[in-house]
Amino acid sequence: MYPFTADVYAAKNRWYVASFSRDVSRKPVERWILDEPVVLYRKKDGSAVALEGRCAHRHFPLAEGTLVGNSIQCPYHGFVYGPDGRNERIPSQDRPSARCSIKAFPVQEKWRWIWIWMGDPALADISLIPNHGEIGLEDPSLTTDEILHEEFEARYQLIHDNLMDLTHVAFLHRNTLGGGSDDTASAEFLERDGDGWMEGERTIRNVPTIPHFAGYLGYDGLCDRIIGQRFYLPALHFGWDRYVYPEGHEQAGTTFGKLLVYHGITPARRNSSHYFFAIARDFGREAQEQMRAATSAVIQEDVWGLSHVERVIRSFGGTPPPEFSARADTHQLKARRKLEAMIVDEQQALGA
């Protein structure tokens, strides 16, 4: 399926963001993840539970049900499932049935999001979750905020494509981040690879400070910006945007502001996705609402644009005409290949 050559579309034995913490409570909520219905709720001790979102009996969506202690009861015939997915009660008979169980998905709550493992629970290796210390989410000197969860009609690969080619910033975000300049697109680009991730970084010199942020940064002159992004395959992008006084300034080379961004990308269905966006920053701490509005506006531009691309692809029956790739797409194409290889490897391991 475009943009992959195989029909596979996503790796299952990996961690994905299922939700922001704040959206999971004692009121069950349904999320489709990797084409499976999931119901999320919290036990009485506050820990998160993720179960198959469908009663094993007659397919009723469990998110419409009610919690009974740490268990969930289907609203159709009253079947009850424990947080481990095991049937605990069938009202029409004396005993529950061991055969009547639903999947329980491993979850890990870190920072303010809930990671889920949709594949084989036996393989759920916590060390595969990106290290939250490395990416600033445990740094008390930063203000973090969950900005937006959007479920929308676009295959998840389009979001990765978008994030792996930041030359779009000057255009798609020209009214917000881009500042009207297209220097981003032509700036020098440095690539690095690590264990489970790949990243790219650009330094753009002598550009205006982003109007959105200038007030909070207390500086509206020209600056250098160091913009980078690391892709922890297959589910999280961690980005940084550092503002540095430019050559000629008395503090040339000093960083006067730092914005970190986190894009959790989770396939909902083959052609729709969840976008979980969060930020951390060392400026504008007092202006939470304004920062939310400003950064949310940026991601909404991506959602708008990728929905359009998805629409065009579907208009061609899912197989668009051949695409042209520029030299700057090398980084993106490498990410596509890594992602597809991860999926193919998983398929082969399952088949072996």
Beta carbon nearer to a copy of itself, 49 or 63: 63
- How many Cβ atoms sit within 10 Å of the Cβ of residue 39? 24
Contact 274, 263 (CB under 8 A): no
Q: Is 27 in the site for a copy of itself (CB under 8 A)?
A: no
Binding piece for a copy of itself, criterion CB under 8 A, among 38-46, 136-144, 166-174, 253-261: 166-174
Does residue 64 touch a copy of itself according to CB under 8 A?
A: yes
Query: Taking contact as CB under 8 A, which single stretch among the options 145-153, 208-216, 257-265, 313-321 is the one that binds a copy of itself?
Result: 313-321
CA 105 to chain centre: 18
Q: Which of 44, 99, 140, 351 binds a copy of itself (CB under 8 A)?
A: 99
According to DSSP, the β-strands at 143-152 and 66-68 are unpaired
- Pick the closest to residue 247 from 214, 224, 219 (CA basis): 224
Nearer to a copy of itself, 211 or 320 (CB): 320
How many Å separate Cα 7 from the centre of its chain?
22
* Closest distance to a copy of itself from the beta carbon of 308 (Å): 5
For residue 125, give every residue at least 6 positions away whose Cβ sits within 8 Å of its Cβ, in sequence order, or none: none
161 binds a copy of itself (CB under 8 A): yes
Contact call for residue 185 and a copy of itself (CB under 8 A):
yes
Q: What token pair was written down for 104?
A: 């329980």
Sequential DSSP letters for 231-280: EETTTEEEEEEEEEPPTTSTTTT-EEEEEEEEEEEEEEETTEEEEEEEEE
Q: Is the CB of 174 or the CB of 338 nearer to a copy of itself?
A: 174
Q: Decide: is 1 part of the binding site for a copy of itself (CB under 8 A).
A: no
Site of interaction with a copy of itself (CB under 8 A): 32, 35, 37, 54, 56-61, 64, 73-78, 90-93, 97, 99-100, 161, 165, 167-168, 170-172, 174, 182, 185-186, 269, 305, 308-309, 311-313, 315, 320-321, 323-329
